[in-house]
């Protein structure tokens, strides 16, 4: 059984796709065979696939090499071979490490409408075993060592559900949950976690990762520190003097009681906004290495958190 890592979130734009790619990148850089890593982009807006395929995404869709077409063929009773649907990033990204990673893009029908069929497969909370069954029959579960699943935000629950149902069936029961260190995001995330445990999977343990998608949220950084989470990023020195807002500290502590928080926040990295050209450079820096290795360690204890090297250089 591969290590299955679903990446889900309550809000949009919090770093799911970025973290999915960083996990794959880290695994390859530290010795995993890229051909044994499968990224499934279940987000119908195809953020990850557009990032790595660029304009080729339309061609891939025409070639029917997508999750959508895989599901459709399966429903028609065809024998599914995963190799007929996965695609390597084929030169559209600069990051050589990812060239041989396999990606299953979401795809869509001729009208550009994925959602009708998705509803059919998934329903509001998912046709729980759909993705697992099809991956199992297609040989993917014996062929890959890692399956990382990027999703659309939880306001469309189907995509979160299909990813989480995989963990249940694979008996992992963990999911990576990135969020911004803002009061709104924390509260939304707590609500999502409660809904997930009520409606999707009682057992699921969220692994929360605070991500700074803006250069500096001073008082939020101070609140994370107050709650015991390290924040090392540009400008974090000044933030040391900031007064932590009590309500954010309380929300972070509430969040702690619903799952595990990675104790170092993912810093803002200007290079990520210019993905993919410059991202490798920052992946070399300590903070993302520590955060990403800590996340992977939750799913595979053979990969140790690389945090001892953390030093504040500013
Ligand atoms: N730590 C970071 N530093 C700098 N930019 C970041 C960071 N994390 C995310 N971003 C940027 O924020 C934007 C949103 O990130 P990303 O696409 O990974 O989020 P997402 O959760 O996948 O979004 P969606 O919900 O739309 O799929 C992207 O432009 C990304 O480059
Ligand atoms: Mg995304």
- The per-residue pLDDT for range 57-81, each reduced to its tens digit, is 999 999 999 998 998 898 889 999 9
CA 150 to ligand 1: nearest atom: 22
- pLDDT band with cut points at 50, 70 and 90 for residue 215: low
Can you list the domains of the chain with their CATH numbers?
Answer: 3-298 (3.40.50.300)
Q: What is the pLDDT of residues 85-141, one digit of tens each?
A: 998 876 556 556 788 899 999 988 766 666 666 666 665 555 567 888 889 999 999
| Residue of the CA atom closest to atom 16 of ligand 1 | 15
Those residues whose beta carbon sits under 5 angstroms from the ion ligand 2 are: 16-17, 47
| Residue of the CA atom closest to atom 28 of ligand 1 | 273
CA 153 to ligand 1: nearest atom: 25
Nearest ligand to residue 9 Cα: 1
Q: What is the pLDDT of residues 15-59, one digit of tens each?
A: 999 999 999 989 998 889 999 999 999 998 899 999 888 888 999
SS3 234: coil
Average pLDDT rounded to a whole number, residues 282-306: 87
CA 266 to ligand 1: nearest atom: 1
Assess whether pLDDT exceeds 60 at residue 313.
no
Question: H-type helices in 11-66, by residue range?
Answer: 16-29, 47-53, 56-62
- Residue 218 pLDDT: 80
Q: Nearest-CA neighbor of 114 among 200, 36, 46, 178? A: 46
Expressed in angstroms, the distance from the first to the final Cα of the chain is 43
The neighbour count for residue 314, using CB atoms within 10 Å, is 9
Residues 6 or more apart whose CB falls under 8 angstroms from that of 283 comprise 22, 25, 26, 29, 289
- Tell how far the Cα of 8 is from the centroid of ligand 1, in angstroms: 13
- Tell how far the Cα of 203 is from the centroid of ligand 1, in angstroms: 28
* Ligand 1 pocket list (CB less than 6 A): 9, 12-18, 43, 47, 153, 211-213, 266, 268-269, 272-273, 275
pTM of the full structure: 0.93
Q: Mean pLDDT score of the chain, rounded to an integer? A: 85
- Residue 175 pLDDT: 95
């Amino acid at each position: 059984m591969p290590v299955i890592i679903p990446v889900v979130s309550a809000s949009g734009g919090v770093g799911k796709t970025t973290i999915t790619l960083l996990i794959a990148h880290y695994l390859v850089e530290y010795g995993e065979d890229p051909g044994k890593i499968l990224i499934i982009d279940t987000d119908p807006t195809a953020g990850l696939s557009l990032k790595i395929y660029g304009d080729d995404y339309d061609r891939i869709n025409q070639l029917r090499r997508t999750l959508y077409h895989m599901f459709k063929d399966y429903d028609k009773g065809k024998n599914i071979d995963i190799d007929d649907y996965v695609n390597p990033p084929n030169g559209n990204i600069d990051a050589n490490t990812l060239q041989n990673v396999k990606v299953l893009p979401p795809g869509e029908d001729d009208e550009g409408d994925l959602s009708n069929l998705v509803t059919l497969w998934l329903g509001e909370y998912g046709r729980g075993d759909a993705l697992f069954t099809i991956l199992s029959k297609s040989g993917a579960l014996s062929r890959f060592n890692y399956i990382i699943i990027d999703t659309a935000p939880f306001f469309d629950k189907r995509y979160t559900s299909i990813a989480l149902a995989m963990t249940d069936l694979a008996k992992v029961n963990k999911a990576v949950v990135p969020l911004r260190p803002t009061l709104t995001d924390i509260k939304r995330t707590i609500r999502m976690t409660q809904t997930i445990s009520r409606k999707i999977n009682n057992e699921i343990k969220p692994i929360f990762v605070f991500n700074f998608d803006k250069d500096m949220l001073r008082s939020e950084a101070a609140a994370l520190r107050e709650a015991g989470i390290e924040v090392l990023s540009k400008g974090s020195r000044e933030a040391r003097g900031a007064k932590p807002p009590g309500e954010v500290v309380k929300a972070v502590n509430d969040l702690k009681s619903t799952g595990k928080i990675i104790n170092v926040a993912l810093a803002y990295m200007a290079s990520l906004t210019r993905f993919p050209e410059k991202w490798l450079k920052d992946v070399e820096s300590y903070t993302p290495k520590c955060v990403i290795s800590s996340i992977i360690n939750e799913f595979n204890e053979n990969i140790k958190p690389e945090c001892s090297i953390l030093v504040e250089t500013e």
